[in-house]
Structure 1
């Protein structure tokens, strides 16, 4: 069984605090996407490399000061170990896998010499461990007080580090000969703050701590005592999620309200501020000072966007959206008929159109407060069909995103949709079990038929090329073949399963289905008799399948997070792709069969290179 090669990824896990990391060379962005770590080269090519080895979502990242090593920690299930992986950035291979923490690795930090790695466990672990990077062995560890959330090594002294969290700031001395960590609590006086992020200045004289209260604390590290805080009057709403020190010495603050501020280091007053569309969770400053005395920085937001901000003392902030993606589950994916360069996705509240080879967004159509459940192209490519949680079918122009027309009260909730080859009809399915056929005219849209035999949600629809019949896969354990001339049932496929997906073979002699019984089933289209049943997964339901345009391959994906490519005639699995950290919701071959697009519940879009069967 071969490995399905991953070509590119559209996505960024912006909910990981401090998850966006800039390599010391200033030319490489590193960020988590589910269980995968993405290494993205900046420049004209935007080439991507994928580090895969984690078994669950990546929770934190850090790069050694010399740029040689990358460390990443992950989440795990209750009671299980959460691994730390150290990667060699030259070979892009895992060097060490280290397991001591339980449930979650909260934060990581390399020592300035790059020899030691400090790791902080989550609230179920609450321990601080120092590791030897070259051997991968733990040197020492200790419990930390309260709910500790952040960690930072000093920039000069490899034997000092600081932690912060629930109303506690502690500076630690790392005594390597005795394998001890000795705490020194920071004297805060009567001040009480919850630390969210820690940054230590270049000469280890001061520490700047972002708090959930919306201010930044300045701590003198020599005496371990609080000095001052700011901004004084205009506190950052929703707290300070991240902060950094710029090349000019000023403090850059990212707020949960989307604000990015520059604070004067001495007075702690705001010099400049800008506002992004959603809360800032990562803020990394690019090396070097610009000619005008400014600098550049990259910001990641909780809506999973990455921005590049250029700050100038005279002009303030100029922002550029570098990367965007879905921040919640992607429900559907669709290609125009016979065209492999673009595809559409259905997200939480929008429909987006993407370019395949450039892996970038071309168009976005948003409808606030409703969820897009399904999407499809009319075969002529003239419109994008979409079904929504409010029961409406909305049809958009594919180039401009203009709303062409809306079918109100199409279903209680539209769960599947497909357009006819003639372009004059739409077939839709709803969660109440109706399959409905709509006539699309220049000025009006009318319902031709409402077919009700299903007793559960219609999860998938497949239409014959001549529009004579369609198949509807339902959670009631039946997939019905409908005659679209008489609008009556022509045949039925039954199994002890919730049917999740169905598709015709290109010659339309057979139908392939899958569902919660973890089986992939082949059926005779003429009389509905079963031809072959194979086990598609050993552990979880299969949510989606697609048949290649030449009819030689079937791709499946589901709750086990694996993408599997099957030989249509052989019924055997030839390739497996791993990378998703959430359940795969939809899979799709490009019309030319060269690539496979998969989308998941974590919001990621994976583009795989299809491989010939061997």
Structure 2
């Protein structure tokens, strides 16, 4: 489903027959790609909601990524394969192969997340705790990082300057411009499910939890809890700051997406000053 930032409904993509695990937009928002438990990924025209392509797989597709120009798509999931599709030649599929062992499988366990870094590089992460950086021209990995626990989350943050990874109770913040370089890591008292760093100040990060229904703000340097937001009635599995850092969104098992203002009382968008 597409909504604008006010929450108004724009349209719904109808076609999957199983849970949708991941959805991405290209930079100009004209093309969307989704990954589903129905063993498929689908490519959508966001202007009219039609399905342009269905990419059949042999198992659950957990993650997808789309190139900035919307011309190529990467898929991964329970098959442990990383497939690269050219949307102009959809039947010509390439497998990304680990340069160390030469096997067709990109990872030894389920691929949980894929990030498209730039025109020539991508990143994948798996339950095996491996994060791998890929050269899309050679279709091979060129470096990797092994986490000490199974990975549960990998996503861009701070306007693509950081990569956030979560394993167990620990959050890792990688420098997006320097593969495997950890800028900061914190082990939290509760189990985080997702996190996002303030895009401008980079002095705080917001965290959703798999253990409770609260959304917390932590200091980036010390991991001291700054604030706690209550309102959801289910675990929170997605959080993200707005590009200007004025508010953040949280998505929960309770079926709602909530928008939270960083400075309550300030006039911004639909919020009026108090």
TM-score by length of 1: 0.38
Cα distance in structure 1, aligned partners of 2:87 and 2:201: 31
1:214-267, Cα deviation, whole Å (9 max, x unpaired): xxxxxxxxxxxxxxxxxxxxxxxxxxxxxxxxxxxxxxxxxxxxxxxxxxxxxx
Are the equivalent residues in 2 in contact too, given 1:504–1:547 (CA < 8 A)? no
Is 1:450 paired with 2:100? no
TM-aligned CA deviation for residue 361 of structure 1:
2.2
Alignment of 1:172-187 (within 5 A): none
Are the equivalent residues in 2 in contact too, given 1:505–1:551 (CA < 8 A)? no
TM-aligned CA deviation for residue 432 of structure 1:
2.6
Are the equivalent residues in 2 in contact too, given 1:551–1:568 (CA < 8 A)? no
Cα distance in structure 2, aligned partners of 1:507 and 1:367: 31
Is 1:577 paired with 2:235? no
Q: Aligned to 1:598, what secondary structure does the other structure show?
A: strand
Cα distance in structure 1, aligned partners of 2:140 and 2:17: 36
Equivalent position of 1:557 in the other structure? 208
TM-aligned CA deviation for residue 534 of structure 1:
0.9
- CA gap of 1:507–1:570, structure 2 versus 1, over 3 A, is farther
1:84-120, Cα deviation, whole Å (9 max, x unpaired): xxxxxxxxxxxxxxxxxxxxxxxxxxxxxxxxxxxxx
1:109-164, Cα deviation, whole Å (9 max, x unpaired): xxxxxxxxxxxxxxxxxxxxxxxxxxxxxxxxxxxxxxxxxxxxxxxxxxxxxxxx
Corresponding residue to 1:426 among 73, 85, 90: 73
Q: Cα RMSD between the aligned structures?
A: 2.6
Cα distance in structure 1, aligned partners of 2:263 and 2:80: 37
Are the equivalent residues in 2 in contact too, given 1:523–1:529 (CA < 8 A)? yes
Higher CA-based Rg: 1
Are the equivalent residues in 1 in contact too, given 2:107–2:128 (CA < 8 A)? yes
How many correspondences in the alignment? 254
Corresponding residue to 2:113 among 455, 460, 466: 460
TM-aligned CA deviation for residue 594 of structure 1:
2.6
Cα distance in structure 2, aligned partners of 1:609 and 1:570: 23
Give the structure, 1 or 2, with the largest relative contact order (CA under 8 Å, sep 6 or more).
Answer: 1
Equivalent position of 1:492 in the other structure? 144
Is 1:362 paired with 2:10? yes
Alignment of 1:32-431 (within 5 A): 352-357=1-6, 359-367=7-15, 369-409=17-57, 412-431=59-78
Are the equivalent residues in 1 in contact too, given 2:96–2:106 (CA < 8 A)? no
- CA gap of 1:495–1:365, structure 2 versus 1, over 3 A, is same
Are the equivalent residues in 2 in contact too, given 1:440–1:446 (CA < 8 A)? no
- CA gap of 1:564–1:431, structure 2 versus 1, over 3 A, is farther
- CA gap of 1:379–1:568, structure 2 versus 1, over 3 A, is farther
- CA gap of 1:461–1:568, structure 2 versus 1, over 3 A, is farther
Are the equivalent residues in 2 in contact too, given 1:554–1:568 (CA < 8 A)? yes
TM-score by length of 2: 0.81
Q: Aligned to 1:592, what secondary structure does the other structure show?
A: coil
TM-aligned CA deviation for residue 415 of structure 1:
0.8
Cα distance in structure 1, aligned partners of 2:5 and 2:154: 24
TM-aligned CA deviation for residue 502 of structure 1:
2.0
Equivalent position of 1:600 in the other structure? 252
Equivalent position of 1:546 in the other structure? 196
Q: Aligned to 2:82, what secondary structure does the other structure show?
A: strand
TM-aligned CA deviation for residue 569 of structure 1:
5.1
Cα distance in structure 1, aligned partners of 2:237 and 2:11: 22
Are the equivalent residues in 2 in contact too, given 1:543–1:586 (CA < 8 A)? yes
Cα distance in structure 2, aligned partners of 1:446 and 1:555: 40
Cα distance in structure 1, aligned partners of 2:83 and 2:200: 30
Is 1:482 paired with 2:129? no
TM-aligned CA deviation for residue 376 of structure 1:
0.8
Uncovered stretches (5+) of structure 1, i.e. residues with no partner: 1-351
TM-aligned CA deviation for residue 567 of structure 1:
4.3
Q: Aligned to 2:13, what secondary structure does the other structure show?
A: strand
Uncovered stretches (5+) of structure 2, i.e. residues with no partner: 98-104, 265-274
